[in-house]
Structure 1
Amino acid sequence: MNEENIRAETIEKPESSLELSLFQALRRLQQDAEMHAKRLARYGGLSPVQLMILQVLASERQLTASALSKRVSLTPATLSGQLDRLAERGLLSRQRDDQDRRRQWLHLTEEGRALQQQAPSLLPPEFVARFAALPEWEQHGITAALLRAASICGSRE
C-alpha cells in the first residue's frame, strides 16, 4: 500500500464517527434498561413489558389485544403470551364483546391494579431524578429525539 492509501484509511469518515457515537449511546441505554429490568423482575416477578402492559391497561377503561399491541409495540403473538401469563396470575381478565363475540376486551383485575399502583417506575430512579432536573424544553427535546430515533429504527410502521 502506498502512503496515500494508508492515510485515506486512517482518516475517519464523519458518518462513521457519528454512527459509532450513536451505537455507543444506544448500547448504554440498552445496558441500563437490562439492569433495571432485572431489578423490576425482583418486584412481583414482572418484566418491564408486563409492567408496561399493566400501566397501559390502568390508564384505559378497556382495550382489545389489537389496540394494546400497538400501544406497547409488541406483535400480537408476543403480546398473547404476555397476556396469558398475566391472566394466569390473576392480574387481568378477558371479556367477550356483547355485540361481536370475536372481540375480547382486556381489563385489569383489582389485584392487577393494586400491583401496578405499587410498582416501581419503568425507568431507573437515577434517570427519573436526573431527567426531572432538566429544563422542560430539554425534556421535550430528548423525548422528541428518542421518539424520532425509535420511528426510524427497524421495520415497524
Structure 2
Amino acid sequence: MITQEFAKLWWKLSKDLRIHMETELAPTLTEGQLTVLELLSGRDRMKPSDFIEFLTTTPAAITTLLDRMEKAELISRERDEKDRRIVWVHVTEKGKAECQRGLSIREHFLQNYLSRISSHNQQLLVYLLGKVANA
C-alpha cells in the first residue's frame, strides 16, 4: 500500500538525517539547539515561551535547553527593562557562527540526497511535500 511505502521511506530519510546531524553537530550543538538558533537568527529576540510552538517539548525542557545554551555561550538572556517578569533570549556571536555551521551541515546532507534526482524532480518533490504538509 502507498501509505506504508511512504511511511517506510519517510522514516528512513528522517532517521538518516537525524543520525547525520547528531554526529556532525556534536559536541558543540544539538538539533534542538540548532532549531533555537535558527529561530533567533531571523529575529532580534524571543521569549522562552515563543519556542513552544516550534519545539515539541515542555516549557521545563525548553528552560533546560536554554540553560545549556547559555552556559555554552550560544545565547544570552536578559530581563525586560519595563516588565521584569519577561525574559528575552538573544543569539550571541558564537551562536550565530554555530548556527551557520549547523545549517551548512544540513544543507550539504540534503543536497547530497537531492542530487540523486533532476532539478525538475527536486522542485516537484518540494511542491508535493508542501501539498502533503499543508493538507
Give the TM-score taking structure 2 as reference length.
0.78
Match 2:81 to one of 77, 98, 114:
98
Which structure has the bigger radius of gyration? 1
Q: Aligned in 2, Cα 1:40/1:75: closer, same or farther, shift over 3 Å?
A: farther
Give me the CA root mean square deviation. 2.7
CA distance in 2, matches of 1:23, 1:49: 23
* Unaligned segments of structure 2, at least 5 residues: none
Match 1:108 to one of 85, 91, 106:
91
Report if the CA contact (8 A) 1:95-1:106 is conserved. Answer: yes
Superposition map of 1:6-155 within 5 A:
17-42=1-26, 44-121=27-104, 123=106, 125-129=108-112, 130=114, 134-135=119-120, 137-138=123-124, 140-145=126-131, 147-148=133-134
Larger relative contact order (Cα-Cα within 8 Å, sequence gap ≥ 6): 2
CA distance in 2, matches of 1:89, 1:74: 21
Report if the CA contact (8 A) 2:80-2:88 is conserved. Answer: yes
Report if the CA contact (8 A) 2:25-2:102 is conserved. Answer: no
Give the TM-score taking structure 1 as reference length.
0.68
Moved more, 129-138 or 68-77: 129-138
Report if the CA contact (8 A) 2:37-2:99 is conserved. Answer: yes
* Unaligned segments of structure 1, at least 5 residues: 1-16, 150-157
- The percent of aligned pairs where both chains have the same amino acid is 24
CA distance in 1, matches of 2:19, 2:76: 30
